[in-house]
Amino acid sequence: MNGAQALVKLLEQHGVTHVFGIPGAKVDSVFIALLDSPIELVLCRHEQNAAFMAQAFGRLTGTIGVCLATSGPGVTNLVTGLATATSEGDPVLAIGGEVPLDDRFKHTHQALDGVDVMRPVTKFAQSALNVHDLPEVFGNAVRAAESGRPGAAFLGLPKDVGLAELGELPAGPWGQPISIGSASATSVSHAAQLLNSCRKPIALLGMQASSPQHAESLQHFLQAAGIPYASTFQGPGQWVAPDHFVGRVGLFRNQPADKLLDAADGVLTIGFDAIEYDPSLWNSGNPRPLIAVDVVPPDQDRAFLPAAELIGDIGASLKALQAGLTVQVDPSFRSAATAHIAELHSTVAEGAQMGGSPVPPLRVVHDIQQVITPETILALDVGSHYIWMNRYVPAQHARQVMVSNGQQTLGVALPWAMAARLLYPDAPILSVSGDGGFLFTATELETARRIGSRFVHLIWNSSSYDMVEFQEQAHYGKVSGVKLGHYDVEKFAESFGCRGHHIDDADQLLPLIREGLQQDVPVLIDIPIDYSKNLRLMQDVYQDFIH
């Protein structure tokens, strides 16, 4: 076999089912090799979207999603997707074509040092400079992507290495996962002593706590410990321990859960990364102890210096910690947590009574909640809608709600919805974007139609980059660079063989969502949105700096 065929065989052995990409002369050998493979090739319209789809596979499965691009601009177009995956803990393997070895240092067509380009946005970046090295580079790339806090890895494939004869593929296993155990007994004992001394403890759940592999351990721990817990936008929500959930935190420090976080005399973070919610916003000038449970040590930060660190398998560490806990939560603190939960529910309930057009955000949130089932996957883009949705839409299982909370990358929702449909062909799939973010990746509707993907995509339409607009208004008293033009969503959808709707009244929305979920093509619903109450999102914001 040649190098490309060997690479495809390695992907098969690792259980890869789909590859997302765009062809080109430097990497065509891999596309040809895929013809004889059970792996499904998903031909995309843009490499960035291929990376987003691979990221969704990585997030939802815990193993690498794979994207494939040619040299030069093909590789550079992957960068945003890989940066998003690495920032947000999603395992991705990107394979990028390269010029032949003899041309590596020439100023020739599509010559580019892809490894140097990829190093800042991946956990691992290396080229296979010899066909016999290919299995080793592959194995190291996969282990880097899937181990510790997951992220992206880049494998460069020179054209002649892909075509070179290998003979037999060396016996593996290549890229086998690394199994780690609990944190040390000494660390666990110290953490238990600290928590047991607290009377107002709170847990803060981050993105790695939302991994399905930790779901059972996380539920057992929080239900047994009885500690109130908050979650970041990307962390697990109410489903873990409904009686102890106090809401999500992130972006602006003004949520009900933030009040409890401020009052806590100890904070247990689980799978939390500072990129999700800057510790300087929620932990400055507060001397209470922090206890971090994670798979990798957190970066040292003056606002985040844990008194105890449980570094190891998150589920195993929680199980060990649970055995030593005798926490006695102050009744007044528990009552405050209950009040915060009630505050969240009452806010959402307001949406049911809101109508008209443009549609109030809480009405859209309310209607979306009416159709979400335990099987639903909800993919969120970034914008004002993502703040409303993350605050008030509960999740019913691990990673049910997909969101970009590290890089806040525009355009992720549509490709994520397409990838979720491939993984869960019978599940209801909903995605949400603003009218700005939608057009970042909307050309993939052709791909969705071609591969038979179906989902309902809601466009919160304000004819602006509204998340930027209302923050500029609050910060500067004026706005700049945010106003957008109109486009016809119905005609746009129809041009790709999809269905499009524009609503003129809030009462039209819920029936259209329900109808759309029954269609066999993607359905777009254009919602004129009333963002006049957006400053409510920033009410009583404490920090001076706005992200």
How is domain 3-163 classified at the CATH fold level?
A: Rossmann fold (3.40.50)
E strand residue ranges, 159-200:
none
Name which of 52, 58, 57 is nearest 80 in CA terms. Answer: 52
Peptide bond into 358 cis (omega under 30): yes
Output the CA–CA distances (angstroms, integers) from residue 265 to 87, 173, 200, 287, 479, in the order listed. Answer: 29, 47, 5, 8, 40
Amino acid 375: pLDDT? 93
Amino acid 404: pLDDT? 95
What are the residue ranges spanned by the domains of the chain?
3-163, 185-340, 354-538
How many degrees, rounded to 5, is the angle at CA 411 between CA 399 and CA 431?
50
- Residues 68-99: pLDDT tens digits? 999 999 999 999 999 999 999 999 999 999 99
Amino acid 292: pLDDT? 98
Asked whether the beta carbons of 244 and 229 are under 8 A apart, the reply is: yes
185-340 and 354-538 agree in CATH topology = yes
How is domain 185-340 classified at the CATH fold level?
A: Rossmann fold (3.40.50)
The list of the chain residues with pLDDT below 70 reads: 536-547
- Residues 241-276: pLDDT tens digits? 888 998 889 888 878 889 899 999 999 999 999 999
| CATH superfamily of the domain spanning 354-538 | Thiamin diphosphate (ThDP)-binding fold, Pyr/PP domains (3.40.50.970)
**How far apart are the C-alpha atoms of 412 and 52, rounded to whole Å?**
6
**Per-residue DSSP letter, 358:** S
Amino acid 547: pLDDT? 46
Amino acid 314: pLDDT? 96
Amino acid 546: pLDDT? 47
| 3-state SS, one letter per residue, for 393-415 | CCCCCCCCEECCCCCCCCCCHHH
Asked whether the beta carbons of 98 and 127 are under 8 A apart, the reply is: yes
**How far apart are the C-alpha atoms of 363 and 507, rounded to whole Å?**
9
Asked whether the beta carbons of 118 and 85 are under 8 A apart, the reply is: no
Q: Tell how far CA 222 is from the center of its chain.
A: 23
